[in-house]
Amino acid sequence: MKSFWRNKKVLITSGPTREHLDPVRFLSNASSGRMGAALAAEALARGARVTVVTGPAITPLPKRAQVVHVNGAQEMLDACLKALPGTTAVIGAAAVADFRPAVPSARKIKKQGAKPLVLKLVPTPDVIGTLSKRKKKGRPLTAGFALETDDLINNAREKMEKKHLDLIVANGPDALFSDKTRAMVLAKGGGAAFYSGSKKGLARMIFDFLGRSL
């Protein structure tokens, strides 16, 4: 297993992204970046070269990983496209904020008494979906995460097909900001496994699954 990944390039997205309404306020989520850090550590342990494109997360990343810091989804996609050539596997572990304000304000939006504020949000680019469509002859392998609050497995399987992923990891929102996780790992070929334990253990399972796809 180790020999396969030796010197292969692995690209990982990690952490939350932020989409600003104005210079102060943003839309985001509570992703800690722990899953991305665990995946980077596992890839390095298997001998891979690792690039992590990360939003503002609190978890430190392994020193031997090459780290690119980004803020929003578009910036994350641009950084990934730049890092893509030569990559064997891409794992989208970032919790990308998938809506952004259509027209961010350059100045802090002021409260106008009790008046409501109507905010038009537009979808952000689909980072892992865009990367998986860049595949040539089945490479790179792409793995994504599906954070769902209901109908977890069906929503995840649908997402895997729509985004042309080789693997999807489906979990609930309790995985955010926790070191423990419960997840379903679903592979394109039909393989599936339930996992409960540390994010480190889940990272190991993901690389085992990806190894079998190669």
37: left (phi over 0), alpha (psi -120 to 50) or beta: alpha
Burial classification of residue 85, based on how many CB atoms lie within 10 Å of its CB (0-12 exposed, 13-18 middle, 19 or more buried): exposed
State in angstroms the smallest separation of the CB of 108 from a second copy: 4
Q: Is 29 a catalytic residue?
A: yes
Decide if residue 63 touches a second copy (CB under 8 A): no
Active-site pick, 29, 71, 154, 155? 29
Q: Considering beta carbons, is residue 65 or 95 the nearer one to a second copy?
A: 95
The binder of a second copy chosen from 85, 150, 190, 194 (CB under 8 A): 150
Q: Does 147 bind a second copy (CB under 8 A)?
A: yes
Contacts of residue 52, Cβ cutoff 8 Å, sequence gap at least 6: 12, 13, 14, 36, 40, 61, 65, 66, 67, 68
Q: How far is the CB of 117 from a second copy (least distance, A)?
A: 4
State yes or no: residue 56 binds a second copy (CB under 8 A): yes
Spatial CA neighbour of 143 closest among 174, 170, 168:
168
Residues in the site for a second copy, rule: CB under 8 A?
18, 21-30, 56, 58, 95, 97-99, 102, 107-109, 111, 113-123, 147-150, 173, 176
What residues are annotated to the active site?
Answer: 29
